């Protein structure tokens, strides 16, 4: 306990120091020292966290929640908000993921960014991100979480627009920031309502209030819906997912760290952290499950036809996040967390692999120009293959275990609001799994197989080379984790015979204990095995289909299909015209309404013209002028005024 | 003949004076160094001065732990050192350090980088610290003169500029009149009671009089004495209508000096006035009428009315100012009104909160005000010694650092969260509001602070939104190292006070000494 109390603040301190040192003095350091400092700033917290993890484990189950009070922050009336950190089962896992994968991606970045002239700026932002993300998961009240929430948003904005010299990339950053603003606004409203109802923002007290019935059903629905809108922004769900594909404008390691492994899962973390609040409202839970399933499905369909390697992975991320929301929506919080962890492993591998491919192809991102890279970049190929198997859900790789868990729970958890929902969710989920398998294998085959490299420029082809050691190192470690990462939680029917292996669930269960009573499982575990084979079979089916089309040269049938379903293909290619639709909305509301009416009429004429210039401006200007007549610079007058004032006051006092 | 015991006693008493002694000796050392140093070495005068100041500050921190809650009376009760005086002294020294850092380059630019400046600053600071650490009207008056006269000289330090000389003379004459008035008040007290010691006077008033009306009938000279002493303080703190010197002097004096006196003179006068109020003026028979209510003709009501006048008039006039230094002069007048609210609150409610809020407000005002003047001193055009709003056009392009810092200072003064000034105002008004009888005052303060936001933010409008017509005029400003350090630290302090106000306001509340709780 005392070790945890003593060491926990340092987890936050190191990234902060790293950011400050590189941010202020970075220009005076050599590149070697910049990345040494930056890596140490993440690696040391990881080491600390690993030891803390074991000391947390050695504590009895019910006291595995340690609050470290650092400072009191706001104390106004009943509102008391402190800077305190909370380490429990949930945040321990998140910190491990953030610092662990964070370290690997810092190491990877050394190789990836070695030519960049803004080296110190890059690592400063990365450390800032790690700091903010740790704040998000370690905060012991919602406000601290919100600071972290905004902090990662800022870091994300800065890193998406890292190459701000290019207009499109700077705009991508702005798009991400503004889209998130919409969600954050709802989040804030939720916080205010919660504060109004509960009178505190501490997780412990909110939990207490939820369990004792202070928060009623309707209020809980409003609050949780607001929080969920916040989550759709940060975690890229319908309707606010549009920023994530554009966020690929940032450097690829950033896409791996922020826009795949960690930041985008903040919404899942938030809902899991506040699960006691969410389960009070079955309505919100159903909405979350539906939105999650729909996002998973639609994003997967878009990913089918994208040709930019990072865009495919981006839509895949959106789709996988949809799975996680599906899981939390049906109350399977540990399953969501498990998928969060495994997804972090294999999606980071995929993105880093994509980065390695892009690096090898001299910044080419179109998969139609790739192909046949299998033998030219061997490490990248192998690790990418492992991660692909993991994401498509083949036993025994990690993705299978977590995805199966989610699908099973989606099917098995009864829904009180819509009775047919479980089966519908399961069908959407299983189709999505099939689509996932297809687009991932399509990506894999188009990049690494399908004949010769199709790039136009001979020099690019000649220049194809394996990435430096630092990048390969990160790839190998992450690929290894993609393979074995899932073993922390085996399926029920295996785990029943070997309960010790099912440790992930056991680890998290104490935190989610209230929710487990509230969500009842209506089907038996033996069905899980059947389901498992169904999804496995569908994944295999997709694999062979993709292999048929893309393994050799790009086959004619695929083009034929694209031609005969031209409308569908175009809609998918254009991402359901959502961006266009949003632009149209913005055009009407912001450009036309705000510009013409709010700015030109209300602000310019009414407020500025009439109120400011008219009443306030002239009125006070004249009063001010009249009053300052007395300020005539004449010393005698000043002294006389003073004496006269004294006489007047004396007259008043003595009367 | 001096025996051992009295020698030890003497040395022990000197221990409490170490911060002052350091300042006195260093002012002499600076003068000597200035005489003998090569002219090329004179740029080391500023670091040397700040070194002495830091020593003095360290000794204050050390004394703080050493001194009991009841304070220490030394030198035959002429000097009284307690936690309150140490906290105020620490703030004054910080103000002096910042001023020295900014001044070193500023003076060089005007070609008057001579040691007298630093020496005078140190002497003035000595007087200020002495003034807040006494409970004796006579020592207080001597200290007042000790810190005022160097300030008069510093105000006229630009001997070649008419405005500077004018401000010096104006300050000197009106200040002398005010001192004379105050001295007359002290003389009246001495005449009535035969003592100048706070506690003695308090005891006499307490024993001999019952109510304000009775005093007015039997001993009207006592009322006059109260009023005259108060008038001296009202002049130094620049409450309307005793403020008229302020704009002219703030405008004419060298900008860094303006920054120093804007805070230091005010803080010192408030601290000393606070002591006088708590000790003498708060005696029940000077406040209450026979039936136990606050007498309509007591000094409390006078201050109450003056605060309202000051809040309204200063903010209205500030709006019509084009000269930023004059505008800040009026702004400092309105800040004085806020501090007066805190003093009123404490004398009515006597809570630790209102005491703490006064000190916290001073602290936020310290960094924001000196910081703002520091930024202006760099923007100032050579040879004009004044900054108009138009001079700030396009400033954000000339030096992003200065403009960002100015933004922080201005926001703090206007009371925008999350900067220190907001919490300063917040805690101050909160404790005034809690007291109940001052809620009208709080309402007026809030409304006038909205008016205040108008002229504060206008500075930012000029800095950010107005561009210079031709691009050739844009020259990037080189901010000297020490100045940059001073401004950056002030800005950080303002932000820190706004983000973590709690621990500091609690600390400030804890510094209350037995002098204030009786």
Question: Is the peptide bond between A239 and the residue preceding it cis, with omega within 30 degrees of 0?
Answer: yes
Interface test with B, best of A72, A635, A648, A651 (most B CBs within 10 A): A635
Alpha-carbon distance of A309 to A439, in angstroms, equals 11
Closest to A268 (Cα-Cα) out of A307, A220, A311, A320: A320
Give the distance, in angstroms, between the CA of residue A113 and the centroid of all CA atoms in the same chain.
Answer: 23
Other C-beta atoms closer than 10 Å to the C-beta of A49 total 25
User: What's the mean per-residue pLDDT of chain A?
Assistant: 84
User: Is the CB of residue B249 less than 8 Å away from at least one CB of chain A?
Assistant: no
A610 & A639 share domain? yes
Choice among B151-160, B390-399, B490-499 with the minimum mean pLDDT: B390-399
- Do residues A305 and A446 share a domain? yes
CA distance A32 to chain B (A): 29
* pLDDT tens column, B227-240: 999 999 999 999 98
Interface of B with A in 446-485 (CB under 8 A): 451, 454
**What pLDDT score was predicted for residue A500?**
41
Q: What is the DSSP letter of B476?
A: P
Considering the domain boundaries, does residue A111 fall inside one?
A: no
Whether A168 is covered by a domain: the verdict is no
Is A635 close to B174, i.e. CB distance below 8 A?
yes
**Residue B425 parent element (H or E):** helix B420-435
Query: By CB neighbour count within 10 A (0-12 exposed, 13-18 middle, 19+ buried), where does B35 fall?
Result: exposed
Q: How far apart are CA B185 and CA B299, in angstroms?
A: 14
**Domain, as residue range, for A644:** 578-654
Is residue B386 over pLDDT 80?
no
Q: What is the pLDDT of residues A256-315, one digit of tens each?
A: 888 888 889 999 999 999 988 888 888 899 999 999 999 999 999 998 888 888 999 999
**A553 and A640 together in one domain:** no
Which of A572, A598, A629 corresponds to the end of one domain?
A572
Q: B-chain residues within 8 Å CB-CB of A642? A: 174, 177-178, 181, 231, 235, 241-242, 244
Same domain, residue pair A394 and A502: yes
Is the confidence at residue A495, as pLDDT, over 60?
no
Q: Is the pLDDT of residue A485 over 80?
A: no
Q: Among A535, A555, A572, give the residue marking a domain's end.
A: A572
**In angstroms, rounded to a whole number, what is the distance separating the alpha carbons of residues A521 and A314?**
33
For A38, the token pair is: 């930056």
Q: What average pLDDT does the structure give for chain B?
A: 88
Residues facing B294 on adjacent strands:
B288
pLDDT given at position A523: 52
Is residue A325 domain-resident? yes
A627–B313 CB contact, under 8 Å: yes
Please give, rounded to a whole number of angstroms, the shortest distance from the CA of A250 to a CA of chain B.
27
Q: Is the peptide bond before A396 cis (omega within 30 degrees of 0)?
A: yes
Query: What residues of chain A lie within 8 A of the CB of B309, using their CB?
Result: none
**B250 interfacial to chain A (CB closer than 8 Å):** no
Query: Given a cut of 60, is residue B106 above it in pLDDT?
Result: yes
Same-domain status, A626 and A553: no
Residue B471 has pLDDT above 60, yes or no: no
Q: Is B227 on the interface with A (CB under 8 A)?
A: yes
Residue B474 pLDDT > 70? no
* Whether A326 contacts A410, CB under 8 Å: yes
Confidence category of residue A249, pLDDT binned at 50, 70, 90 = confident
Q: What's residue B54's pLDDT?
A: 95
Per DSSP (E only), the strands in B50-106 are: 72-74, 79-81
Per CB-CB distance under 8 Å, the chain A contacts of B228 are 646
Residue A500 shares a structural domain with residue A632: no
Q: Give domain status of residue A148, yes or no.
A: no
From the CA of B162, how many Å to the nearest CA of chain A? 13
pLDDT tops 50 at residue B170 = yes
Question: By the CB < 8 Å criterion, does A500 face chain B?
Answer: no
Chain B interface disruption, residue of A143, A151, A633, A642, most B CBs within 10 A: A642
**Interface check B299 vs A, CB under 8 A:** yes
Among A497-501, A506-510, B242-246, which is the least confidently predicted range? A497-501
Q: Is pLDDT at A510 greater than 80 in this prediction?
A: no
Task: Find the closest chain A residue to B496 by CA distance.
Answer: A73
A586 shares contact with chain B (CB less than 8 Å): no
Q: Which two tokens stand for residue B161?
A: 């500029």
Nearest to A620 among B169, B245, B316 (CB): B316
Put simply, the answer to whether A624 touches B316 (Cβ < 8 Å) is yes
Test the A interface: residue of B220, B231, B232, B244 with most A CBs within 10 Å: B244
| Joined tokens for residue B86 | 């140490």
Interacting residues of A403 by C-beta distance below 8 A, sequence separation 6+: A323, A339, A393, A433, A535
B273-290: average pLDDT: 88
Structure token pair of residue A55: 């000391």
Task: Give the tokens for residue B255.
Answer: 């900008």
Q: Is A561 on the interface with B (CB under 8 A)?
A: no
Flag if B235 and A642 touch (Cβ within 8 Å).
yes
Is residue A266 assigned to a domain? no
In the structure, what pLDDT confidence band is assigned to residue A457 with cuts at 50, 70 and 90? confident
pLDDT at B150 over 90: yes
Is 60 exceeded by the pLDDT of residue A516?
Answer: no
CB contact under 8 A, B317 and A74: no
Stretch 369-428 of chain B: residues touching chain A, C-beta under 8 Å = none
Helix residue ranges, H only, B253-351: 255-276, 284-287, 299-319, 324-349
Whether the pLDDT of residue B293 is over 60: the answer is yes
Strand, helix or coil at A140? coil
Q: How far is A77 from chain B (nearest CA, A)?
A: 11
- CA A233, CA A183: separation in Å to the nearest integer? 5
Beta carbon pairs, A and B, within 8 Å: 88
Chain A CA closest to residue B245:
A638
Q: Taking residues A68-75, report their average pLDDT.
A: 82
Give the residue on B whose Cα is nearest the Cα of A653.
Answer: B297
User: In this structure, is residue A229 part of a structural domain?
Assistant: no
CB contact (8 A) between residue A71 and residue B227: no
- Residues of B within 8 A of A654 (CB-CB) are 216, 220, 223-224, 297
Phi-psi domain of A206 (left: phi exceeds 0; alpha: psi -120 through 50; beta: other): alpha
A:53-112 residues touching chain B, CB 8 A cutoff: 71-75
Q: Are residues A568 and A584 in the same domain?
A: no
Show the tokens assigned to A515. Answer: 């929710």
pLDDT of amino acid A498: 45
Q: Which residue has the higher pLDDT, A573 or A333?
A: A333
Distance of alpha carbon A243 from alpha carbon A228, whole angstroms = 17
Q: Which of residues 171-200 of B touch A (CB under 8 A)?
A: 173-174, 177-178, 181
pLDDT computed for residue A537 by the predictor: 84
ipTM here = 0.88
The answer to whether B320 contacts A637, with C-beta atoms less than 8 Å apart, is no
Question: What percent of chain B is predicted at pLDDT more than 90?
Answer: 50
- Is B320 within 8 Å of A621 when comparing Cβ atoms? yes
A400 token code pair: 């299978």
Q: How far apart are the first and last CA of chain B?
A: 40
Identify the band that residue A499 occupies on the pLDDT scale cut at 50, 70 and 90. very low
Choose the closest CB to B177 out of A616, A639, A655. A639
CB proximity B302 to A under 8 Å: yes
Regarding whether A582 and A568 lie in a shared domain, the answer is: no
Residues A523 and A390 in one domain: yes
Please tell me if residue A623 touches chain B, with a CB cutoff of 8 Å: yes
Q: Rounded to 5 degrees, what are φ and ψ at A308?
A: -85, 125
Neighbours of A570 (CB within 10 A): 12
Q: What average pLDDT does range B355-368 have in this prediction?
A: 94
Ranges A37-46, A340-349, A378-387, A559-568: which has the least confidence:
A559-568
Task: Decide: residue B215, CB within 10 A, 0-12 exposed, 13-18 middle, 19+ buried.
Answer: buried
Look at A520 and A352; give whichever has higher pLDDT. A352
Nearest to B170 among A71, A635, A643 (CB): A635
For residue A501, pLDDT over 50 is answered with: no
Given A518, A539, A572, which residue is the final one in a domain?
A: A572
Please check whether residue A629 touches B, CB under 8 A: no
pLDDT of residue B332: 94
A592 in a structural domain: yes
* Chain A residues lying within 8 Å of B220, measured CB to CB: 654
Considering the domain architecture, whether residues A449 and A543 belong to the same structural domain is answered as yes
B303 vs A: CB within 8 A: no
> A interface mutation test: which of B179, B233, B238, B241 has the most A CBs within 10 A?
B241
Which range, A302-311, A362-371, A604-613, B106-115, is most confident? A302-311
- Are residues A246 and A302 in contact, defined by beta-carbon separation less than 8 angstroms? no
Does one domain contain both A650 and A509? Answer: no
Q: Over the stretch A122-164, which tens digit does the pLDDT of each residue have?
A: 999 999 999 999 999 999 999 999 999 999 999 999 999 898 8
Question: Distance of alpha carbon A635 from its chain centroid, rounded?
Answer: 67
A512 and A616 within one domain: no
Asked if B125 and B396 touch (Cβ cutoff 8 Å), the reply is no
Which DSSP state fits A634? Answer: -
Say if residue A449's pLDDT is above 50: yes
Region A202-212: what's the mean pLDDT?
87
The closest of B337, B295, B310, B495 to B429, measured between CA atoms, is B337
Closest CA to B249 of B172, B195, B319: B172
Taking contacts as CB-CB distances below 8 angstroms, the residues of chain B near A73 are 499-500, 502
Mean pLDDT calculated for residue range A620-624 = 75
- Max avg pLDDT among A43-52, B206-215, B380-389, B505-514: A43-52
Q: Closest approach of chain B CAs to the CA of A84, in angstroms? A: 14
Residues of chain B found within 8 Å of residue A74, distances taken between Cβ atoms: 502
- Give dist(CA A414, CA A421) in Å, integer: 8
> Residue A8 and residue A91: Cα distance in Å, rounded?
12
Q: Which two tokens stand for residue B413?
A: 């003064």
A642 and B451 within 8 Å at the Cβ level: the answer is no
Structure confidence at residue B3 as a pLDDT band (50, 70, 90): low
**B170 in contact with A at a CB cutoff of 8 Å?**
yes
The count of structural domains within chain A is 2
Per-residue pLDDT at A490: 53
Percent of chain A with pLDDT over 70: 93
Which chain A positions have a beta carbon within 8 Å of B448's beta carbon? none
Distance of CA A556 to the CA centre of its chain: 39
DSSP 3-state assignment of B79? strand
Is residue A183 in a domain? Answer: no
């Amino acid at each position: 306990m005392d070790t945890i109390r003593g060491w926990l603040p340092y987890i936050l301190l190191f990234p902060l120091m790293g950011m400050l040192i590189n941010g202020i003095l970075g220009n005076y350091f050599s590149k070697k020292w910049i990345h040494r400092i930056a890596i140490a700033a993440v690696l040391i917290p990881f080491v600390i966290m690993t030891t803390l993890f074991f000391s947390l484990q050695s504590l009895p189950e019910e006291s595995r929640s340690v609050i470290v009070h650092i400072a009191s922050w706001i104390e106004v009336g009943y509102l008391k908000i402190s800077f305190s950190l909370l380490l429990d089962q949930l945040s321990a896992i998140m910190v491990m993921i953030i610092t662990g994968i964070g370290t690997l991606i810092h190491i990877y970045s050394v190789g990836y960014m070695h030519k960049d002239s803004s080296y110190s700026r890059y690592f400063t932002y990365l450390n800032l991100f790690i700091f903010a993300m740790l704040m998000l998961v370690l905060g012991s009240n919602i406000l601290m979480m919100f600071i972290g929430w905004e902090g990662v948003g800022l870091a994300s904005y800065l890193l998406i627009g890292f190459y701000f010299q290019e207009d499109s990339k700077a705009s991508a950053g702005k798009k991400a920031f503004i889209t998130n603003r919409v969600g954050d606004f709802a989040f804030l409203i939720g916080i205010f309502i919660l504060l109004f109802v509960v009178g505190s923002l501490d997780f412990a007290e909110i939990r207490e209030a939820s369990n004792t019935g202070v928060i009623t059903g309707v209020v809980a629905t409003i609050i949780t819906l607001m929080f969920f809108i916040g989550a759709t922004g940060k975690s890229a769900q319908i309707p606010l997912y549009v920023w994530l594909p554009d966020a690929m404008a940032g450097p690829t390691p950033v896409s791996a760290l922020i826009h795949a492994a960690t930041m985008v899962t903040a919404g899942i973390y938030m809902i899991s952290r506040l699960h006691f609040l969410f389960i009070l409202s079955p309505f919100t839970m159903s909405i979350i499950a539906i939105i999650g399933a729909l996002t998973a499905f639609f994003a997967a369909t878009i990913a089918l036809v994208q040709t930019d390697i990072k865009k495919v992975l981006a839509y895949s991320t959106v789709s996988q996040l949809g799975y996680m929301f599906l899981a939390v929506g049906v109350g399977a919080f540990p399953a969501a967390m498990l998928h969060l962890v495994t997804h972090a492993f294999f999606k980071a591998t995929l993105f880093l692999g994509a980065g390695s491919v892009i690096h090898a192809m001299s910044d080419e991102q179109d998969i139609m120009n790739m192909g046949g890279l299998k033998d030219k970049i061997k490490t990248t190929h192998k690790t990418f293959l492992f991660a692909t198997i993991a994401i498509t859900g083949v036993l025994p790789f990690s993705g299978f275990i977590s995805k199966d868990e989610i699908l099973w729970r989606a099917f098995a958890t009864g829904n009180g609001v819509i009775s047919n929902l479980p089966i519908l969710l399961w069908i959407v989920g299983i189709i999505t799994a099939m689509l996932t398998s297809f687009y991932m294998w399509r990506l894999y085959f188009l990049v690494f197989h399908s004949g010769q490299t199709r790039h136009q420029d001979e020099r690019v082809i000649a220049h194809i080379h394996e990435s430096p050691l630092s990048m390969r190192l990160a790839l190998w470690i992450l690929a290894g984790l993609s393979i074995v990462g899932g073993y922390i939680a085996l399926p029920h029917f295996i785990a029943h015979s070997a309960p010790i292996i099912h440790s992930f669930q056991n680890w998290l269960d104490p935190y989610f204990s209230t929710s487990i009573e509230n969500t009842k499982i209506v089907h038996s575990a033996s069905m899980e095995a059947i389901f498992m084979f169904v999804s496995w079979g569908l994944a295999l089916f997709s694999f062979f289909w993709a292999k048929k089309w893309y393994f050799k040269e790009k086959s004619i049938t695929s083009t034929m299909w694209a031609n005969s379903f031209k409308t569908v293909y175009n809609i998918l290619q254009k991402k359901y015209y959502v961006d266009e639709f949003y632009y149209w909305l913005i055009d009407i509301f912001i450009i036309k309404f705000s510009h013409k009416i709010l700015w030109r009429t209300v602000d310019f004429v009414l407020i500025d013209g009439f109120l400011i210039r008219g009443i306030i401006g002239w009125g006070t200007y004249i009063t001010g002028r009249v009053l300052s007549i007395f300020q005539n610079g004449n010393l005698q007058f000043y002294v006389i005024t003073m004496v006269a004032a004294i006489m007047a006051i004396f007259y008043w006092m003595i009367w | 003949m001096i025996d051992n015991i009295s020698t030890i006693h003497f040395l022990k008493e000197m221990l409490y004076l170490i911060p002052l002694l350091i300042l006195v000796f260093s002012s002499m050392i600076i003068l000597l160094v200035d005489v003998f140093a090569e002219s090329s070495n004179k740029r080391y005068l500023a670091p040397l001065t700040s070194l002495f100041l830091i020593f003095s500050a360290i000794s204050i921190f050390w004394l703080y732990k050493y001194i009991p809650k009841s304070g220490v009376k030394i030198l035959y009760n002429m000097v009284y050192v307690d936690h309150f005086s140490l906290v105020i002294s620490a703030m004054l020294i910080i103000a002096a350090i910042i001023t020295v850092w900014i001044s070193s380059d500023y003076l060089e630019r005007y070609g008057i980088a001579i040691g007298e400046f630093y020496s005078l600053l140190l002497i003035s600071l000595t007087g200020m610290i002495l003034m807040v650490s006494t409970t004796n009207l006579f020592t207080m008056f001597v200290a007042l003169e000790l810190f005022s006269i160097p300030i008069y000289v510093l105000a006229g330090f630009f001997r070649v500029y008419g405005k500077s000389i004018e401000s010096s003379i104006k300050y000197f004459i009106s200040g002398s009149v005010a001192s004379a008035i105050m001295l007359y008040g002290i003389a009246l007290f001495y005449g009535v009671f035969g003592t100048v010691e706070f506690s003695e006077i308090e005891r006499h008033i307490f024993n001999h009089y019952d109510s304000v009306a009775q005093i007015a009938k039997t001993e009207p000279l006592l009322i006059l004495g109260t009023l005259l002493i108060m008038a001296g303080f009202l002049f130094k703190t620049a409450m309307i209508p005793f403020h008229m010197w302020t704009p002219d002097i703030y405008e004419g004096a060298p900008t860094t000096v303006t920054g120093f006196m804007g805070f230091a003179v005010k803080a010192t006068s408030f601290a000393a006035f606070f002591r006088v109020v708590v000790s003498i003026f708060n005696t029940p028979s000077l406040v209450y009428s026979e039936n136990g209510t606050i007498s309509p003709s007591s000094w409390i009501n006078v201050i109450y009315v003056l605060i309202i006048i000051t809040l309204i008039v200063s903010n209205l006039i500030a709006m019509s100012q084009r000269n930023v230094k004059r505008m800040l002069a009026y702004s400092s007048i309105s800040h004085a009104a806020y501090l007066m609210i805190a003093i009123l609150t404490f004398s009515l409610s006597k809570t630790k909160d209102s005491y703490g809020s006064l000190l916290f407000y001073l602290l936020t005002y310290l960094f924001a005000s000196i910081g703002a003047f520091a930024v202006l001193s760099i923007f100032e055009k050579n040879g004009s010694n004044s900054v108009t709003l138009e001079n700030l056009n396009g400033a954000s392009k000339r030096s992003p650092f200065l403009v960002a810092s100015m933004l922080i200072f201005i926001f703090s003064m206007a009371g925008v969260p999350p900067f220190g000034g907001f919490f300063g105002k917040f805690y101050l008004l909160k404790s005034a509001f809690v007291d109940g009888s001052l809620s009208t005052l709080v309402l007026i303060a809030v409304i006038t602070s909205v008016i205040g936001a108008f002229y504060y933010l206008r500075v930012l409008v000029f800095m950010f939104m107005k561009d210079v017509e031709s691009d050739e005029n844009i020259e990037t400003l080189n901010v000297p190292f020490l100045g940059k350090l001073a401004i950056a630290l002030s800005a950080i302090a303002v932000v820190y006070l706004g983000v973590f106000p709690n621990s500091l306001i609690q600390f400030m509340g804890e510094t209350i000494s037995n002098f204030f709780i009786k």
